[in-house]
Structure 1
């Protein structure tokens, strides 16, 4: 009997403990359920806050003001849209717009210079889709060159930049590649390697024209050419061509040097010979004129006194000729025997 009473007591204790745990679980579930909106409104209405409507109005005014005013930085402009349609462009400073999302503002930095690179290590562009080698270009002399470059730009017309082109970055990359290929295609591989600044200027002008025609609102600040080269498989052949070109230029320079040395010397010798001939001709002419004048003067005097002039000429001639003779022999004109004449010059006592 005692055992049965104890068993009932244990059962009742277990049932009471189970009911208590179940009650606690139900209370916890009730606490996890959020209160309903009606209950919150009732509680809020039951609260007695002094100046409650005023506070609510102030809060609403602050919320409206926070959506009506905005600030534009000095390097930005604000593009205002009303229900998605462009309305106006605002300048830096504190500006006003319609609240509650009626007007929205997009701030565009018009002073920031952005950069687009074309060509990375190995000549593969990081902006070219599908792993294409955008830097491999065909030159005007049908060679292939690796031409990496960098484009720096900024936004000059926010309206065109935001609304005229759907994907302005993609268009910029495509037009940059097209402009560079157009410029490179008109030049040889030697020009591509040695005239990078001229190519960069021409590519910038061409790219700016295309961007203006497309109304992208982008201004190209500069186009910078990196080190241009040829693909690695053809590098040895290009080196041989460059070496042959250098040897050819060296031979040309050497030939020009020899030409510059020989031709002036020959021209100087020719001028000297011509001047000597002209001097000799002038001397001969002057001498002939002098002889003719002297002969004319002598003839005039001879005509006046022939005997005297003839004798004077004869004596002057003898005076000029005799001193040049080594031995002089005077022979009597009455001499008729020829034998004494055979020993002339052999006798010590000959007349001199």
Structure 2
């Protein structure tokens, strides 16, 4: 028997290994599946670009896109309050446009009365239309910085240095805010300006002592005005109260005199009626009543007749004790 053929037929044929192109396809499929999903954070919105062209805007959450660089996503922090700082810079800021490159030049300004001032301020804004923010204007952050600085210089240039440092700060902030909102809408920046806040506003260093003296004088003036107003508020109500009190006292005295006069008039009328009825009796009664009222108030009186020549015997002499009397 020929066993060679039989043994050979029983040996299984070896399996061919998986080809490399197939493994590459699987690897690409996994990469494509992995890169097809993306997540937008809660404070942002996503701008989907297809070959660099704007396609749509997606809200926060998990989304799908075409992989392999066909679709790309740009995250825009639309719910974050951002700010631009002029004339100074904070530490550890995340917004690349927050601080300027030359803060000393940014805060140096000329006022309307041709005085120099160092003005530091903040512009707070929020991106509300990310598609306009990314594609309507080139470098929107720098553009917003430029129009903010130009607007502040324009508003400061229309006012005196005293207004900028003391009483005109709120008006400047309101005017700059209104102007910035107008320009942001005109340029389609896609942002909403929320607040403009002046920080430190000082004169140049060489003249700061003089300005400080002026400010102290103005504060003293305001303090004296407040003290005077306080004294006025205390003195005027007190004077009005005293005036009302005297008026009421005069009114009371008036009513008292009127009542007394009316009572006297009624009493006189009553006496007159009795006098008409009995003149002699009434005259005598009035005389006696008058004496009864007058004599108790008078001192000791001596009434003598015209015929008396010597008054001495009629005078009362004090009793003199006799000798030997006990």
Give the alignment partner of residue 75 of structure 2, picking from 108, 115, 120.
108
Q: Relative to structure 1, is the Cα distance of residues 139 and 87 closer, same or farther in structure 2, using a 3 angstrom cutoff? A: same
Alignment of 1:166-185 (within 5 A): 166-181=138-153, 184=156
| 8 Å Cα contact 1:149-1:226 kept in structure 2 | yes
Instruction: Show structure 1 runs of 5+ residues with no match.
Output: 1-48
Instruction: Show structure 2 runs of 5+ residues with no match.
Output: 1-14, 90-97, 318-326
Alignment of 1:119-268 (within 5 A): 119-120=87-88, 127=100, 133-138=105-110, 144-181=116-153, 184=156, 189=162, 192=165, 203-204=176-177, 206-220=179-193, 223=196, 225-268=198-241
In structure 1, distance between residues paired with 2:186 and 2:245: 69
SS state of the match for residue 211, structure 2? helix
Higher helix share: 1
| 8 Å Cα contact 1:78-1:105 kept in structure 2 | no
In structure 2, distance between residues paired with 1:114 and 1:284: 81
The structural deviation recorded for 1:239 is: 1.2
In structure 1, distance between residues paired with 2:63 and 2:247: 92
Q: Tell which has more relative contact order, 1 or 2 (C-alpha 8 A, sep 6+).
A: 2
SS state of the match for residue 326, structure 1? coil
2:304 counterpart of 1:330: yes
Give 2:47's aligned residue: 79
In structure 1, distance between residues paired with 2:163 and 2:86: 21
2:76 counterpart of 1:117: no
Alignment of 1:18-57 (within 5 A): 50=16, 55-57=20-22
CA RMSD of aligned residues (A): 4.0
Q: Relative to structure 1, is the Cα distance of residues 246 and 93 closer, same or farther in structure 2, using a 3 angstrom cutoff? A: closer
SS state of the match for residue 210, structure 1? helix
Number of equivalenced pairs:
288
**Cα deviation 1:222-266 (Å, max 9, x = unaligned):** 655433322212211111211221332343344334444544454
**Cα deviation 1:60-105 (Å, max 9, x = unaligned):** 5644774684332322554344444323334543523275x5x341
**Cα deviation 1:196-216 (Å, max 9, x = unaligned):** 788667655653443233222
TM-score, scaled to structure 1: 0.64
2:280 counterpart of 1:307: yes
2:36 counterpart of 1:70: yes
The structural deviation recorded for 1:164 is: 0.7
Larger Rg: 1
The structural deviation recorded for 1:300 is: 0.8
2:24 counterpart of 1:59: yes
2:250 counterpart of 1:283: no
| 8 Å Cα contact 1:329-1:351 kept in structure 2 | no
